[in-house]
Chain A
Amino acid sequence: MEVPDQRLPAATFEDLALPLFDQLYNFAHWLTQDRVEAEDLVQETYVKALRGFASFQAGTNFRAWMFRILRNSFLTTKAGLKATVAYDEEKHEADASASVPTPEGILLEQGDREILQQALEELALPFREILLLCEVEEMSYQEIAETLGIPSGTVMSRLSRARKALRGLLQQKLRGERHGM
């Protein structure tokens, strides 16, 4: 097999790709919201990536490349198509600005983890995925741009909107819950 990067003379696809397995699975499950679909997606990603490894450009980001394959595979599934069609950037922007957090903000407590997960689940796919890449995968804007295939400038603005939308959702939930208690 061709070695794609001279700085990694001994690196095979296996060496590069397997350490990303847990992250890719987590991301896949967040996208699909279903274990079986996530498993299929991860497997498909590895098969496609292995097949396309020869064409992987040396010097580009391997992790972003893998995440991109996974995401593109997801977008061609039924669920992925649905998520894309359902997404309306304008509308979500309106949602986000309509629920600007109050000045006192949100104080997350230990037990709020589940609420945060619920909110993330409910978030539109473009917001959910960009938050996961930024916060969970700790990707740079450049990596996120490579993964999503969008300009870096768009990464920044979409992240801001995603955070606003998440804060709005969280506030609703926390308020509702604390009132209920």
Chain B
Amino acid sequence: MACDAWREKLDAYVDGELAPSEANALSAHMRDCSACAAEALQRVQMKRALATAGKRYEPSAELRARVANSVSTKRRWKLRWQWLIVAVPALMVLVISILVNLSVQREKALGQRVYSELTDLHVAALASATPVDVLSTDRHTVKPWFEGKLPFTFNLPELQGSEFTLLGARVTYLEQTPGAHLIYQLRKHRISVFIFPEQSGQLAKLHSGPVSALSFNLESWTQNGLRYFVVGDVSADDIRALSKLLQNAG
């Protein structure tokens, strides 16, 4: 092999990357070829010089400490604490949303209970042999009848010009609170209107607005500290019409 071809392999030779057979052959060649041997020596020298010259920069003690700290196990604990800073508020948001959700559900459950109790009262009154205690189509008779029976007063609407007729009234109870139960008639249907003092515990938490419970339509609102419920098997529109009349009467 010519020297040029060997020179090509000198780098790999001095780097110790030549295959053993080739390295042996090159060693043999250099015993006879002083030029190639000198070239190899020069490259080895250069390697040594570079190995020394290349170790030029020393890190500062401060950086060493910083890096060591950033990868040490203790540091990772600190990192976990930092995670807590994120995790704790996230957890709080989660807990709060669960609580809110629960209270919304509890409210819903309360609503369901109250509505089913009211429909029960409504049905019970209609099924009763004596659905009303005061039988009168005259609001001026019905309203005074409640005096002394209930701890609150309310106004009843003028029904003239409407399709609704007042049939009568009775005292009823919801959640141990006495209230007024008025029965109105629309065509063949009877509609119950319940009036309770708003302050009575759970009722205050109820939402206002129309509700559909079982086959009954129901509308509820608060006015002058009183909670009104209108329940009946008529359409939601009819319920709303009666509600309007009551609301206007205040």
Query: In the complex the two chains form, is A42's CB within 8 Å of B59's CB?
Result: yes
Q: Are A25 and B58 in contact (CB under 8 A)?
A: yes
Residue B124 lies at the interface, judged by CB distance under 8 Å to chain A: no
Chain A contacts with B in 131-168, Cβ cutoff 8 A: 131-132, 134-136, 138, 140-141, 156, 159-160, 163, 166-167
- Out of A46, A50, A140, which one reaches B17, CB within 8 Å? A140
Name the one of A46, A113, A163, A166 contacting B52, with C-beta atoms under 8 angstroms.
A113
CB interface residues, A 97-152, toward B, < 8 Å: 105-106, 108, 112-113, 116-117, 120, 131-132, 134-136, 138, 140-141
Complex CA gap A12/B47 in Å reads 34
B59 touching A116, Cβ below 8 Å? no
Residues of chain B with a CB closer than 8 A to A13's CB? 71
A113 CA to B63 CA in the complex, in Å? 27
- Inter-subunit contact A26/B55 (CB<8 Å): yes
Q: A21 interface residue, CB < 8 Å from B?
A: yes
Q: Are B59 and A113 in contact (CB under 8 A)?
A: no
| B64 cross-chain contacts in A, Cβ below 8 A | 21
- Give the shortest distance, in Å, between A67 (CB) and chain B (any CB): 14
A43 to B15, CA, bound (A): 31
**B246 to chain A: closest CB distance in Å?**
68
- Chain A residues within 8 Å of B71, by CB: 13-14, 17-18, 46, 50
Query: A136 to B66, Cβ gap below 8 A?
Result: no
Would A47 and B60 count as touching, CB distance under 8 A?
no
B109 at the interface (CB under 8 A from A): no
Asked if A69 CB lies within 8 Å of chain B CBs, one says no
User: CA separation between A120 and B66, bound complex, in Å?
Assistant: 29
Known interface pairs A17-B71, A117-B53, A135-B51; A156-B17 also in contact (CB < 8 Å) = yes
* Cβ contact within 8 Å between A116 and B53: yes
Contacts of B57 in A (CB 8 A): 25-26, 29-30, 35, 38
Chain A contact residues: over half helix, strand or loop, or mixed?
helix
The reply to whether the CB of A2 lies closer than 8 angstroms to some CB of chain B is: no
Task: Flag if A135 contacts B11 (CB, 8 Å).
Answer: no
In the docked arrangement, what's the CA distance between A50 and B66, Å? Answer: 14
Q: Which residues from 18 to 63 on chain B have a C-beta closer than 8 Å to any C-beta of chain A?
A: 38-39, 42-43, 45-47, 49-60, 63
- Taking CB atoms, residues of chain A closer than 8 Å to B91 are none
Structural contact, A42 and B67, CB atoms closer than 8 A: yes
Residues of chain B with a CB closer than 8 A to A138's CB: 51
Closest Cβ of chain B to A70, distance in Å, is 12
- Pairwise interchain contact B67-A46, C-beta atoms closer than 8 A: yes
What range describes how many residues of A lie at the interface?
35 or more
**A14, A116, A132, A141: which contacts B72 (Cβ < 8 A)?**
A14
Cross-chain contact of A163 among B43, B45, B59, B63 (Cβ < 8 A): B43
- State A38–B68 Cα separation when bound (angstroms): 16
How far apart sit A38 and B55, CA to CA, in the bound complex (Å)? 15
Q: How far is the CB of B239 from chain A (nearest CB, A)?
A: 64
A91, B54: Cα distance in complex, Å: 25
Q: When A29-B56, A43-B63, A120-B54 are in contact, do A163 and B70 touch as well, CB less than 8 Å?
A: no
With A and B bound together, what is the CA distance between A84 and B109 in angstroms?
Answer: 69
Q: Could you say which residues of chain A place their CB within 8 Å of the CB of B45? A: 108
A-B contact pairs, 13 of them (CB 8 A): A12-B73, A14-B72, A14-B73, A38-B57, A42-B67, A50-B71, A113-B49, A113-B53, A116-B49, A135-B50, A135-B54, A163-B43, A167-B46
